Structures are given as C-alpha cells and as structure tokens.
Amino acid sequence: MRTPLEEKALGALQQYSLLQPGDRIAVGVSGGADSVALLRFLAQYRAQYRWEITVCHVNHGLRGAEADRDEQFVRALAERLGLPCLVRRCDAAALAAAQHCSVEEAGRRVRYSFFAEAAGESGRIATAHTLQDSIETVLLNMIRGTGLHGLCGIPRIRGSIIRPLLDCTRAEVEQYLAVLGQPYCTDSTNRADDYTRNAVRHRILPQMQALNPNFEAAMARMTAQLTAQWSLTEELAARAAQQLQGAACGGALDRQGLLA
C-alpha cells in the first residue's frame, strides 16, 4: 500500500509531466528529512522508469562538524542506494561578502549552479520543496509586500527544475521516512529564529494553524487558484504583445480581443 507521499508525488509526476522514462535527474540532497524523502522516492521508482539519478550535495562551510556529518551521511546513503554522489564544498560566508548578498542567497546560487552542472543540458534538477516551504514563501512575500505572482508560492516547474513533493506536508514526509525506517539529519540552525523564514515557521505558522486546523489545505487551494490566474494573465499578455507587434509592422489591431 502506498503512503500519502507516494500517492501525491506520483500523481504530480503524471499530472504535470515532471519526468519522463529514461530521464537524467540531479537530486539536491542536504541530508534533511525532505531531501532524503525525495531521494528515497525517486530511487524507489528508478528501475521502473529507467531514471538515471545523481545525488548532489553542497557543503556550505557554515556549520563545522555538523556540516561534515551531513556530507558523510549523504555520501553513505547514496552508496547504499547504488547511486553516484557529487559533492561541492564552498565558503558561503566569503561568497556572500564578495557578492554583496546574504549568506542564504550566496548558498542558493552555488547550489543551483552546481545542480545545473550535474544535470547537464538535457537533465532535470529535482529539489525537495514541500507544501510547507511554499506556504512559508507566500507568507514571507506578504510580509515584504508582493503582487499576484508572489502569492502563487514556489513554482512546481521552473526551466529544468522540478519539485515532485510540492503537494506533500511535513507530516507526510515524516510518515514516509518512518515506514522506510530511514534516518535523516537535523540542521541545528533551523531551530533558531535568526533567519526570517525560521521565524515564520516557528511563530506565524503555528498561530495560523491554531486559527484554522486546515490552514495548509486552504493555502494549497489558494496558491493553485492564483497560479492559474497568473498563467492566464501571462498568456493574455503574450497574445496582446503579439498583436501589438503585428500592428506595428502594418497589421491590424483587434480592439475587441484586447478588451476581452
């Protein structure tokens, strides 16, 4: 019997054509619960779909022995699953100073550049963002001020990047790992409220869930509806731009179409 995570992830793969049989996939694995669950899920179905999986881990050089522990954990897990593992080490703090950005942004740039390099031109990059991550992103955008696009949450597909677990809750991730008897690493910095995202996770989300026990499901519906509206807006804008370009080259402009 499949777990809720498997049902949702398989459903997303089929509904949104995230992966095709024989695809090459670079899987970002930090060693935390979400990324370990993603790796175990993809590895579970790799023979059936003939996927070529590469495990990718970035050691940001920020947490000393704890970061080294995570790296060794990911290496060992990849070996146990019979998968190749690539590791990139960096000094995220030094990169942030040189690039005049936050440490989080510097680390993100390193990760996605590394994942793209590992995936190659024709491969996919799979990251383990979940429903909670998407909700946190929406709340962060609201705090900072945003428009329609910022309320859509994390995109399921962006170029070669796919997020198969985007419909899955934290509870479903933990249940899946428990069924497998699969351990994972815990990042001690996730417990501190020094980072704004952590403050949202620890302070705001629990209050929202106390007010509405179905808050996650409600947010999932909202972001799905707004994503559909955003996609329609982009489609209509592109169509209008084509008409304007045609009119500029001597063609006719359909006023009724623009007003529709």
Q: What domains, with CATH codes, occur in the chain?
A: 4-213 (3.40.50.620)
Question: What is the pLDDT at residue 257?
Answer: 57
Question: What is the pLDDT at residue 240?
Answer: 83
In angstroms, the Cα distances linking 159 to 155, 172, 237 are 10, 27, 20
User: Which one, of 58, 55, 144, lies nearest residue 95 by Cα?
Assistant: 58
In angstroms, the Cα distances linking 105 to 60, 93, 112, 168, 212 are 12, 10, 11, 25, 32
Question: What is the pLDDT at residue 192?
Answer: 72
Give the 3-state secondary structure of residue 73.
Answer: helix
Q: pTM for this one?
A: 0.90
Distance between CA 67 and CA 91 in Å, rounded?
Answer: 12
H helices within the chain, ranges in order? 4-15, 33-49, 65-81, 92-99, 103-119, 131-144, 170-180, 196-199, 205-211, 215-248, 255-259
In the predicted model, residues of the chain with pLDDT beneath 50 are: none
Question: What is the pLDDT at residue 2?
Answer: 95
Question: What is the pLDDT at residue 52?
Answer: 98
The single-letter code of the amino acid at 62 is L
